[in-house]
Amino acid sequence: MTGLQAGLKDRHLSMIAIGGVIGAGLFVGSSTGIATAGPGILLSYALVGTLVVLVMRMLGEMSAANPTSGSFSAHADRALGRWAGFSIGWLYWFFWVVVLAVEATAGAKILEGWIPAVPQWGWALIVMIVLTATNLVSVGSYGEFEFWFAGIKVVAIGAFVVVGLLAVFGVLPGADTDKAGLGNLTDHGGFLPHGAGAILTGVLLVVFSFMGSEIVTLAAGETANPRKAVTKATNSVIWRIAVFYLGSILVVVSLLPWNDPSIEKKGSYVAALDSLGIAHAGQIMNFIVLTSVLSCLNSGLYTASRMAFSLSERGDAPKAFATTTSRGVPMAAIVSSVVFGFVAVFFNYKFPDSVFLFLVNSSGAVALFVWLVICFSQLRMRRIIQAEAPEKLVVKMWLYPYLTWATAALIVFVLGYMLTDTEHDGRTTVLLSLLVAAVVLVIAFVREKVGGGARAEAAAPPAEPVDEGVRTP
């Protein structure tokens, strides 16, 4: 058919880039991290944030040189082999369709609290149907929805940081700032009340809230100037993480003592606003969390469908996934992704402690697998691009190859440390994720061995002609 179209505007991609690093996990999951590591959770966020910046730099280097809807899966395919692109692509698809169910349920809980006449499963169904329809209309429709969803998140966190800092320094008019102050960082058992080891435990709790920063490299393929879009997004990831993650968490642990019971009871951001005497803080945060949930759902469905589309183009998924409507929408890829999401929602309500728990845990470490594959892909792709098309290296990884190897080593270390974590299900998550990854790898090698699924060359041309020499056998 027509193939994907350049329907995303610059403002869409800019907001997708900003909003992509702000998941609902930041609002919902940060309270557990604060309780575990105290103010030292800032170091956990800084460590993971640094990891994401480095990984995004590598991905930006490859994506700027060869923008494609398959992003890191397509790069792994060329750099490491078909088995790598197939495996990480399907694992990533699996991760996002499970996220669809998680986020749909989270949003449904909030909406049921506002309008209890509609049951929770009904709200989950409504939310999924609305956002599926949005994605089916056109990529511009997805971009427009995401522009406003992400915009609300950005404005909300920006306002939270500004208001919080004014309160911390005692210059916020009419606010109750008795508990606020930078002294909260050290006055209640020290900056690391549970010791330095808690920093690593905090890493395990916050690492998954950063998943989504790579979405911009998939979306860039549907813009008029993908190389410029990827370069801009890659260069801005540092300040985005610094402001939205480190800035907002610094405000939370400065407004309240880290061990204040309200942080775990109400959630860190709600507790922080409540401490200032701001009226309706809980409902304000519920609205912001709902927006984040809808944003994550919207982007998750988009991301899963584009990965399925790319896999199909490369002969690693059903051919129907690569067909598009007259508006450039891969309808079969979207529908198949949302159907799996609906099934996962059903499991969440019918078998929450067995089937659905397995789905969540078995997809939990995929983020780290993706980052690791990006590292190894970049090590190979840099040499290939330098040899075949050096002018395409408009974004370069710093201190190559040493910093790439160091990043890969840190990711392996985090995975290893998760195996020692039984309190927060880290070991279960890694083992089940490895099990699923092993199954996918076996399928990939069997397909390659028996020659199943003849390789389909890219049906749609890339944004710019790519030298055939860049491909590896």
Residue 190 Rama label (left phi>0; alpha psi -120 to 50; beta): left
Q: What percent of the chain has a predicted confidence (pLDDT) above 90?
A: 44
The structural domains of the chain, with segments of one domain joined by +, span 10-453
Q: What is the mean pLDDT of residues 150-164?
A: 89
> In this predicted model, what pLDDT tens digit does every residue of 401-423 receive, in sequence order?
999 999 999 999 999 999 998 88
Collapsing DSSP states into helix, strand and coil, what is residue 293? helix
Q: Which of 79, 353, 62, 363 minimizes the C-alpha distance to 218?
A: 62
Q: How many CA atoms lie within 13 A of 92 on its CB side?
A: 35
* Average pLDDT value over all residues in the chain: 87
In angstroms, the CA 211 to CA 206 distance is 10
Task: Tell me if 179 sits within 8 A of 252, measured CB to CB.
Answer: no
For the cut 70, the answer to whether the pLDDT of residue 453 exceeds it is: no
In angstroms, the CA 20 to CA 150 distance is 8
> In this predicted model, what pLDDT tens digit does every residue of 23-47 receive, in sequence order?
667 877 788 899 999 999 999 999 9
**Predicted pLDDT of residue 162:** 92
State which CATH number among 2.10.10.90, 1.10.287.70, 1.20.1740.10, 3.40.50.1000 fits the domain covering 10-453. Answer: 1.20.1740.10
> In this predicted model, what pLDDT tens digit does every residue of 357-406 receive, in sequence order?
898 888 889 989 999 999 999 999 999 999 999 999 999 999 999 999 99
Task: Give the long-range contacts of residues 328-333, CB within 8 A, separation 24 or more.
Answer: 328/2, 328/3, 328/4, 328/5, 328/7, 328/138, 328/139, 328/222, 329/135, 329/136, 329/137, 329/138, 329/139, 330/4, 330/305, 330/306, 331/136, 333/304, 333/305, 333/306, 333/308, 333/309
**Predicted pLDDT of residue 120:** 87
Q: What is the mean pLDDT of residues 53-70?
A: 91
Buried/exposed 353-383: b ≥16 CB within 10 Å, e otherwise = eeebbbbbbbbbbbbbbbbbbbbbbbbbbbe
